[in-house]
Amino acid sequence: MKPFRLPLIPLVLRVALGAVFIYAAVPKIADPVAFAGSVAAYRILPYFWSYLTAAVLPFLELICGVLLICGFRVKSGALIIGMLNLVFMAALASAMIRGLDIDCGCFRMEGAKTAPWVALLRDTVFLAMTAAVLRYERLRAG
């Protein structure tokens, strides 16, 4: 007899992860200049590349978020989100090591700063959620 597996939790994780990334993408698409500033504040990319990243990254987040919510090409969407999370975590860790006093630039572009270590913690949770989504997809496929 097949073990009873409740698909609700993977579904909730997938939709929640998708929603988070859509929520993160919308203000960045609305104000790319502010997001370019957030990217520039990390002091990793040269001037123009900060703009290019600010132009493309939010759309990548948006498309992956929509894919996860729709349940279409979930594995690819989740893999991109996982890779993005790893890149964000590396950037945050680098900002922490260099002692940069910056906002993470993760969600809102204005208001109170989010410290890099808080953002790093949050990204760890998102990465765990991504791993769970990918694992479920693998189980489902296999």
How far apart are CB 5 and another protein at their closest, in Å?
22
Q: Which residues contact 70 (CB under 8 A, 6 or more apart)?
A: none
Q: Which of residues 39-78 bind another protein (CB under 8 A)?
A: 40-41, 43, 46-48, 50-52, 54-60, 62-64, 67, 73, 75-77
For residue 74, give the nearest of 7, 12, 130 by alpha carbon. Answer: 130
Residues 109 and 38 sit within 8 Å (Cβ to Cβ): yes
d(CA 63, CA 30): 15
How far apart are CB 76 and another protein at their closest, in Å?
4
Q: CA 83 from chain center: how many Å?
A: 9
Q: Which of residues 8 and 141 has its CB atom nearest to another protein in the complex?
A: 141
Binding to another protein by residue 38, rule CB under 8 A? yes
Binding to another protein by residue 26, rule CB under 8 A? no
Q: Which of residues 16 and 31 has its CB atom nearest to another protein in the complex?
A: 31
**Torsion-angle region of residue 105: left (phi > 0), alpha (psi -120 to 50) or beta?**
left
Q: Which residues bind another protein (CB under 8 A)?
A: 29, 31-38, 40-41, 43, 46-48, 50-52, 54-60, 62-64, 67, 73, 75-77, 79-80, 101-103, 105, 109-110
